Amino acid sequence: MTREQTTFSRRAVLRHGTVAAGVLGITVGTASAATTVSGGGNALQTAIDDASDGETLTVIDSAVYNPITVDVGVTIETSASPTIEGDGGTGAAVSINADSVTLDGFTVTNPGGLLGVKVERGRDDAAISNNTIEDVGPTGRLGVTGVVVGQGDHSGIEIVNNTIQNLDQETTEDSGFPTVNGVLFDADNSGPGTVSDTTVNNNTIRDIESDIAPLGIVVQHETDGVDINNNEIRDLVAADDTDSDPSDDVDFGFTFAQGINIASPATSETTLAHNIIEDVTSAETILPEAIKVDGDGGGLTVRANQLLVAVGLNNRNGTDNGNRDPSSDPQVDAKNNYWGSPEGPEEADFNQDADDDGRSDVVGNVTFEPFLRNPPGGKGRGPNN
């Protein structure tokens, strides 16, 4: 037996005097060790604590596991259908606090909690793939989120082939501004950091409710090489009657809902392509938006999307009802998208100037011609179906 093949078992014996129950060391070739995990509870965290960079941990049963913190560069995968369940607090069910971590194939929940999966500040090369992240919230606190990438610089983040669903947030006297986010790149306003070489592809984000604001994908960092492609974002609901206690008189007086929000102060080589965004509703004052650009849209390329929402793309809210001149705003390149009609989009001066008539509007400094007369690939139900 080689030294590499004995790494896990020797470390476990030295640390604990025996191999922890539910954790078994096996081998994969000669390059790295592999470990099988079963039994639920703390067994997965125990395996992580005993692992070294490059190891693979495979969960082989469909048990429920306690929250985990991954502070070593491992692959965590499964051959079964296990669940990692958060404790309902302000932390994440899965916290990734090392580089080169993969989480593949799990159901992640956090009922009554704030976060599903979090990539901690400055961590690189995290792959979150083939998971179902669901039943997060409500908490009565700001920012219920399925997957959050924390502050600082990040490179090589992959969020692919996940289903993120059934997220909920409610207004209370202590809730602050209770948004709900499917995927959030959460930047510090004073030093946003840069996200580079990152993909958010082939995810389904659906059934997100908030008393004020459900958001599918939000990017607040500066971007340099970010692809947000082939995602389906649907069934986002902003309405004060989602509150478990509508009689509590806590009401902001408006709602908004957005499929994708780009709040980046600077964008470069950032692509939004082949996404389907539909069935997004906002009950009060502000019309729902498929894509909202609150930051720099100059480095965006928006292509072959189905933008089937009242406002298909809003760049900085245009004239903001006559309060600003949008002519100097960075222009958003949104050619060759489908806007719910063979006639292309309508144009509006600001959000509430748009028509909610089944044909999407564009707002602000946006290039949208030529446009697609039919949906690319024929997918999507459309706003009137």
CATH code of the domain containing 166: 2.160.20
At 314, phi and psi to the nearest 5?
A: -125, 115
The answer to whether the beta carbons of residues 252 and 171 sit under 8 Å apart is yes
| Domain interval for residue 135 | 41-378
Note whether residue 3 is domain-resident. no
- Could you give the CA distance from residue 204 to residue 159 in angstroms, rounded to a whole number? 11
Burial class of 71 by CB neighbour count within 10 A (0 to 12, 13 to 18, 19+): middle
Mean pLDDT over 88-95 rounds to 95
According to the model, what pLDDT value does residue 379 have? 44
Note whether residue 18 is domain-resident. no
What is the total count of domains within the chain?
1
Residue pLDDT, tens place only, 41-85: 999 999 999 999 999 999 999 999 999 999 999 999 999 999 999
The answer to whether the beta carbons of residues 267 and 228 sit under 8 Å apart is no
Note whether residue 233 is domain-resident. yes
Instruction: State pTM to two decimals.
Output: 0.90
Residue pLDDT, tens place only, 338-381: 999 999 999 999 999 999 888 999 999 999 999 999 999 744 44
Arithmetic mean of pLDDT over the chain: 89
Q: How far is CA 133 from CA 146, 198, 228, in A?
A: 6, 20, 18
Note whether residue 135 is domain-resident. yes
Note whether residue 5 is domain-resident. no
Q: Is the model's pLDDT at 4 over the cut of 50?
A: no
Note whether residue 22 is domain-resident. no
Note whether residue 36 is domain-resident. no
Note whether residue 310 is domain-resident. yes
